[in-house]
Structure 1
Amino acid sequence: MAQELNCRHSGSGMPLVLLHAFPLTSWMWDAQRSALADLCHVITPDLRGFGASEPHDLSVTDAPDLDRMAEDVAAVLDRYGFRKAVIGGLSMGGYVAMAFARKYPERLEGLVLADTKPEADTPAAAAARREIADTVLHEGSPRVLVEELAPKLFGRTTATQRPGVVENIRWMVEQAHPTGIAWAERAMAARPDYGPVLAALDVPALIVHGDEDAMIPLETARGMQEAIPDAELAVLRGAGHIASMETPGEFDVALRRWVKKVLAARKEAERKHGHLGLRMHRA
């Protein structure tokens, strides 16, 4: 069952939904909400269990599943009255965006994948995620992520030259709720290979990747570009895994240029074939 997510939003027009990384919140998209508001309606949810969205009841028997998060995103579109949207995500947000593309291809107008990958976890990686889930629940604290994950979320340039970004990323990790962490880790451990989803994609895609990402190599981004029929790749110099926060200016330029192309194509399609009926109603 879908959960109602807390959302921050700005602007009007074509909806652009941006999904945050693990274990951060929609606050990581503040720069993008401001930079894109004159072009489109930017919606940034706190995914279930993070930020101001409700934590999970881990006693529920349904296994954690990224499809549940995709259902939450579809419910956000319904709430704002949109039938279709551009869906984007960074890292875990990218996994959820790909889950949305698989589950709701008819509701997808474009896909933005930042510092993420389509492959499922290896058995060892999945086991490590489940171990982290058990640890944070046992300790009632995100300590293990603060100590082991947070330093990997930003690149070497950010580590030496952008202390404010380092502080903000670390702060968000420290605020993460143990049940949200555990549920998301178990859901990511169980995720499928999204390669077939990307190969079958019939909407434009933008891939954004930091060249200092220590968690996902740049070759993965290049592989996604090759796999998707209509995809562009923007490589951000001096950015690590959380590229939207580390080099927001460069991230915004790439996203803005691509969104303008999507809007131009949308306008041309409407001119040729009439209004596409992308709006359902204003909730």
Structure 2
Amino acid sequence: MRLLEGLPLLPHRWRVCLAAFLFFIFFFVIPAQAFDEDHKEKINGTTLHFRVRGADKNKPYLLILHGGPGFSAHMFYPWGKSIESSVNVVYLDQRGSGESERLTFATPFAPTPEEVKTYTVSTLLTDIEGVRRFLGINKWYVLGHSWGGMLGVEYAAAFPGSVEGFLFVDGLLSQPMAQEAILTFAEKQVASDKMSKEPSKQARAKRLAPFLPYAGKLPPGREKYLSTMQFAFALFGEMYYANPNVHAEYQAKIGMAMKEYAVPMASVLPANEPPLALIVTDNYATRDVSPLLQKVKCKTLIINGDKDGLIPLKTTRAVQSGIPAAKLIIFKDCGHFPFAEQPALFTKTVLNFVSP
């Protein structure tokens, strides 16, 4: 060892003992350094933003695939802190989302094929793989939430050698199934709103009721997707949460995280362009990844809230039966965002999976 070159007069036995002592100090006594790396890198022809936080680079890595398409990984910042001491978390803003390079259309909501030609599922998968290679990670765990679950299925099927394990969290399996679930939930909620004594809910029912028959009769495609999403937004609190009050509480936590990390709030706002682009390039409005489930060979954990109006348990059971190695955990009294509604249980469940 070079550290011992200045000690030529020490007996050989002492030199061996000193070398062993220094080895112990460097590798067992000196604690690993926590790290927070904020990246904006040119990968696969676009600028991708990803933040990597953890306590020890020798620990496993967990990639977060956020929902949307068009949301951002920022929504996971408040919850992610709870696991960063045990696993290194990669918060990736997908192409066109968050702090990554955004898409622009000359005519809003009407992209041309030329404007979106580089925004495809295949490109998104190559982006993810590019981030893994950039970080020098051999294999990582992947957590896909909502749309990120669908993207995670695509990634695990396309790059099986890169995925150590897959967490499918209230994930999207099929657009037609999701649209059916939205309309079913909307019909029940509108009927309930009509009987409510709250004027705001009565007004909501009056506003939404005339459009339910129209949306239900639409054939699969862009208009069906856009119509059903209007119901999802209008009924957001009830459809996505067992306790709608949690939404405001968690949004406040996101706001505090944005201040802590000096993130522009504009970067957190959902982008409309990604889903519109995927409708053009990859039939997102009718996309169904059910046939890919059998190609997911890594260990898989499915987590779903029993009160999730977008992803009912019927969908979750289909995912479980389609992935050979999948296990299912259902969170009671929980909606679409378990990391917001049941954070302690979600943390325990994720860590048990990643670091058994």
TM normalised by structure 2 equals 0.61
Identity in percent: 22
Correspondence for 2:354 among 250, 255, 259 = 259
Task: Assess if the C-alpha contact under 8 Å between 2:240 and 2:336 holds in 1.
Answer: yes
The answer for unaligned runs of 5 or more in structure 1 is 133-142, 262-283
For 1:18, the aligned partner's letter is I
For 1:56, the aligned partner's letter is L
Once the two structures are overlaid, the 10-residue window that deviates more, 241-250 or 203-212, is 241-250
Residue matched to 1:44 = 91
How far the C-alpha of 1:234 sits from its partner, in A, is: 1.7
Task: Assess if the C-alpha contact under 8 Å between 1:156 and 1:240 holds in 2.
Answer: yes
How far the C-alpha of 1:181 sits from its partner, in A, is: 4.8
RMSD: 3.3
Q: How does 1:58-137 map to 2 (within 5 A)?
A: 58=105, 59-60=114-115, 62=117, 64-121=119-176, 124-128=219-223, 131=226
Q: How does 1:158-173 map to 2 (within 5 A)?
A: 159-160=244-245, 163-165=248-250
For 2:248, the aligned partner's letter is P
For 2:242, the aligned partner's letter is R
Q: Secondary structure at the match of 2:142?
A: strand
Structure-2 change in CA distance of 1:179 and 1:194 (3 Å): closer
Measure, in 2, the Cα distance between the counterparts of 1:78 and 1:63: 20
Residue matched to 2:28 = none
Correspondence for 2:242 among 156, 163, 166 = 156
Once the two structures are overlaid, the 10-residue window that deviates more, 242-251 or 184-193, is 184-193
Residue matched to 2:288 = 193
For 1:83, the aligned partner's letter is N
Structure-2 change in CA distance of 1:215 and 1:127 (3 Å): same
How far the C-alpha of 1:6 sits from its partner, in A, is: 0.8
For 1:8, the aligned partner's letter is R
Measure, in 2, the Cα distance between the counterparts of 1:194 and 1:177: 23
**What is the count of residue pairs matched by the alignment?**
250
Residue matched to 1:246 = 341
Residues 171-222 of structure 1: per-residue CA shift (max 9 Å, x gap): 9998223334533555561675322322232210011111110111012212
Residues 104-132 of structure 1: per-residue CA shift (max 9 Å, x gap): 12212111111113335478453236657
The answer for unaligned runs of 5 or more in structure 2 is 1-43, 106-113, 178-217, 256-264
Measure, in 2, the Cα distance between the counterparts of 1:240 and 1:31: 18
How far the C-alpha of 1:81 sits from its partner, in A, is: 0.7
Residue matched to 2:63 = 17
Task: Assess if the C-alpha contact under 8 Å between 1:67 and 1:103 holds in 2.
Answer: no
Measure, in 1, the Cα distance between the counterparts of 2:84 and 2:100: 23
